[in-house]
Amino acid sequence: MTVSWSIISVAALAILWNYGSHREWFTGESAANIGCNDNHGYQIEFLSKEPLFIHVQNFLSTDEATYFTSIVPENYTHRLYVNDDDVKKAVAPRLAVLDQEDVYVKCVLNRAQRFLGSMGSPDFELLSLARYGVPHQVQLHSDASQEPLVDSESQRRYNRQTSFFVYVHASDDLEGGETFFPRIPPPPDVGLPANPAVVSINNSTGAPALAVKPISRSAVFWLSLNPDGTLDFDTIHEGLPVTKGEKVGMNIWAKHYID
C-alpha cells in the first residue's frame, strides 16, 4: 500500500501539549470519595510481534470508566483531527482535556507507566478524552511525528514512541468506530467468540488487515517508532466512522525524550 506523507502527519492531532488542563471540572467530591482501584487487574493478548501490537482487556476499572464517561459534553471544547478538511466536514471528534492532578488521571497514568516498564518515560502528554458520535472518524495517520515535538516547559525534544488507545466507553448500540491498522495482518484466530474485539477488514489492496472493535474499558498498545527512531509505517491507523451510537476514547502518549 502506498502512503503519502500528507496522511501520516500528527501536527494537527489536537496539539495537546499546548492545551491547558481544566481542573474546575473535577472540583466535586466524587474523585476523593470513590477513589480508583489501581489493582483491579487486566489481561493482555499479543496480536502482532512485528510490529508489536497488544490488546488489553479491562485496562480501566469499572469505576474509572464510569467516572470518565460522566464528563459532560459541554466540556469537550477542542477537536481531534488530521487535517482541516476533517473539521470542515464535521467528522472530527470532540476533545476534553483532563485535569492531570485528578486522582483517576494519576491512577491511569501510573498504570501505563508500569505497563511500559523499561520503555517508560517520566512525563506524559496531557491526558484527554475524545467523544465520537455519528459520523466522527480520524483519518489515516501515525501517532509519532516526522520531526521531534518540543516540550512546552522544558523545551526538550521528544517523540511518541509508544501509544495506548483506551476505549473508555462504547454504547450498546455502537456500530463502526473500529481502530483499523491496514498494514498489520489479522491474527489467525481472528473472529473467535472468545475475543469479539479483534476483527479483519480488507485494506485498499483487498488484503485482510487488523481492526479492533471498541469494547468498553479495553485498550490497544503499539510502538510507533522503529529502534532507530524512524516512523514505523506498519503502525499507521485510522478511526473508522461511527455509524451508530457513541464511543469515548483516550490517548495515552509518553514523552520519549530525544536529548
CATH for 111: 2.60.120.620
DSSP single-letter state for residue 106: H
Q: Cα–Cα distances in Å, from 13 out to 30, 94, 116, 208?
A: 31, 12, 23, 27
Tell me what pLDDT residue 159 has: 96
Whether 21 is in a domain gets the answer: no
Tell me what pLDDT residue 200 has: 92
Q: Shortest CA distance to 116 belongs to which of 63, 67, 65, 52?
A: 52
Whether 221 is in a domain gets the answer: yes
The verdict on whether omega for the bond into residue 227 sits within 30 degrees of 0, i.e. cis, is no
Whether 195 is in a domain gets the answer: no
Whether 53 is in a domain gets the answer: yes
Provide the domain limits for residue 247.
43-180+214-257
For 63-190, list the strands marked E by DSSP.
Answer: 78-79, 94-97, 128-132, 138-141, 149-150, 157-159, 162-170, 175-176, 179-181
For 77-144, list the strands marked E by DSSP.
Answer: 78-79, 94-97, 128-132, 138-141
pLDDT tens-place values along the chain, 259 residues long = 444 444 455 434 544 444 444 444 343 334 444 456 766 789 999 999 999 999 999 999 999 999 999 999 899 999 998 888 998 999 999 999 999 999 999 999 999 999 999 999 989 999 999 999 999 999 999 999 999 999 988 999 999 999 999 999 999 999 999 999 999 999 887 766 667 899 999 999 999 999 999 999 999 999 999 999 999 999 999 999 999 999 999 999 999 999 7
Q: What is the pTM of this model?
A: 0.89
Whether 208 is in a domain gets the answer: no
Tell me what pLDDT residue 5 has: 42
Whether 29 is in a domain gets the answer: no
Tell me what pLDDT residue 117 has: 93
Whether 202 is in a domain gets the answer: no
Distance of CA 244 to the CA centre of its chain: 20
Helix 103-116, helix 62-69: angle, nearest 10:
130
Whether 192 is in a domain gets the answer: no
The verdict on whether omega for the bond into residue 51 sits within 30 degrees of 0, i.e. cis, is yes
Tell me what pLDDT residue 193 has: 65
User: Given the C-alpha cell 473535577, which residue does it identify?
Assistant: 26
Tell me what pLDDT residue 195 has: 74
Tell me what pLDDT residue 165 has: 98
Query: Under a CB-based contact definition with an 8 Å cutoff, are residues 178 and 244 in contact?
Result: no
Number of domains in the chain: 1
